[in-house]
Homo-oligomer: A and B are copies of this chain.
Amino acid sequence: MSATAALDVHPDRLLPADPSLRSVARRLYDSVKDLSIISPHGHVPPQWIAEDIPFRDPTSLLITPDHYVNRMLHANGASLADLGVGRGPLSDEDARAAFRILCTNWSAFRGTPVRYWFEDELGPIFGVTERPSAANADAIYDQIAAKIATPEFRPRALMDAFDIAVMATTDDPCDDLSAHEQLAQDSSFTRRVVPTFRPDKYLDAALATWNTDVDRLGEVSGIETGDYAGYIAALEDRRRYFVAHGAVSADHGVIDAGTDILSTEEATRIFAAARSGSVTDDEATALRRHMISEMARMSCEDGLVMTIHPGVRRNHHIPTFETYGADVGCDIPIAVEYTDALRPLLNAYGTHPNLHLVLFTIDETVYSREIAPLAGFYPSVYVGVPWWFIDAPEAIQRFRAAVTETAGFARTSGFIDDTRAFCSIPARHDMSRRLDAGYIAKLVVEHRLPEDEAFEAITDLVANNPRKVFKL
């Protein structure tokens, strides 16, 4: 690989190879490529926008906080420490060294969406024209550093440049949402940033931190959480607080999709055992599953859309977790079951008009077998688009092929970027639009969908489905 190779960001990238497909796909893509970005689930810190904080350096912007990048470099021999993970602000020297690791390992990312997103950032956003390599790593670092020092690269300016109309953050139920408040009261800020209620750690009594967290829930809500009734009331209170601050959804990261409902007596008993530190693992699991159904019940009342992201074994490599903490690239998916697991919740609330339940998976086997059939019957259920490891071109095409025939386009969520990598947001949404255009073009060319409806379908996926599904 030559050090001076050009960075190729082709206008037809990701469109199908066949000329007849490409031609239709290009027209479909052109019809939606300039539509505003709607990002109903993601992990950008709201403070970045509220305070319009300049990005510090290319490494802390593009590498250190992004576990998609870290994990691949780690697999190919880098230490997480050398990438800045778990270290706080890096010296210029160390930041440059980390950036060189990335550029030197450019070929390890061949065929991955991480490289695709990077190139779509480096070229169109940062004006990089050479393919990264060991030889030009410093020059590219300098070029990006110079850009992010300018006002045009502050978060709010980028949000305008990226045309992000709506962006959801992910927030702790005890968060005071002051950043969101600040944005709401700032009349100069015309975009929409909404919080998301993410109560995982308050619902899992098996966690060592649970008792402390439930205490804090009581303090923040002003509702005593010493017993189950108070705990429920406090959660309801915080959800109302989030709704009042613009939240449209609650997100649930769970190891399984279980939703078995306990009697109030049994829930009260287990809650008390958990508060006194004597809960068993099975009881904690039972309470957690019950609480997912409780969240659905509350959604029927307060209208928060409910998203579920199950099936990831977090911190698979414990020595890495102990050294670097969570979210550093060693979370590994497992198989997940939805049909039986969700049955209690869906029998109780699945036809309630207020409930929107968006089901995500990394276990692709459930798309055609479980999620699409559920979304093809329950008016509350929507198929979440591919997430995390499978937010990638081939996987997204497999997803559309797996769910559309059973659930149609109307029962899918629209794209979710799910990222804390702010500058990758346009690339991720654009990738999704290109791939959906390709899928729909195939339907047109194979005479499975008239072309006029194809244009409606792609617009629905980009603009209408996310607004409808997330009540925006």
Instruction: Using CB atoms and an 8 Å cutoff, list the residues of chain A in contact with chain B.
Output: 1-2, 5, 8, 10, 12-21, 71-72, 74-77, 107-113, 116, 131, 313, 316-320, 329-335, 337, 339-340, 343, 346-347, 350-351, 362-365, 368-370, 372-379, 381, 389-390, 392-395, 398, 401-402, 404-411, 440, 442-443, 445-450, 452-453, 456-457
Contacts and interface: CB of A to CB of B under 8 A. Distances in A.
A381 B75 CA distance: 8
Contacts of A408: 72, 108-112
6 contacts: A16-B446, A18-B18, A75-B381, A107-B453, A316-B346, A368-B390
Contact of A379 (B13, B76, B110, B332): B76
B313 A448 contact: no
A390 B365 CA distance: 13
A75 B357 CA distance: 12
User: For the complex formed by this chain, how many copies does it contain in all?
Assistant: 3
Given A13-B447, A14-B446, A131-B450, A319 B351 contact: yes
Nearest to A394: B401
A347 B19 CA distance: 49
A333 B75 contact: no
A339 B351 contact: no
Contacts of A337: 334-335
A449 B406 contact: no
Given A14-B446, A116-B448, A319-B347, 14 more contacts: A5-B450, A13-B448, A71-B377, A75-B377, A75-B379, A111-B408, A111-B457, A313-B340, A316-B346, A334-B370, A363-B369, A389-B405, A392-B406, A393-B405
Nearest to A451: B8
A410 B108 contact: yes
Contacts of A409: 110-111
A29 B445 CA distance: 18
B452 A113 contact: no
A381 B332 CA distance: 13
A210 to B, nearest CB: 23
A395 B379 contact: no
Contacts of A12: 446-447
A70 to B, nearest CB: 9
A313 B16 CA distance: 38
A112 B404 CA distance: 6
Contacts of A406: 112, 389-390, 392
A72 B18 contact: no
Contacts of A318: 347
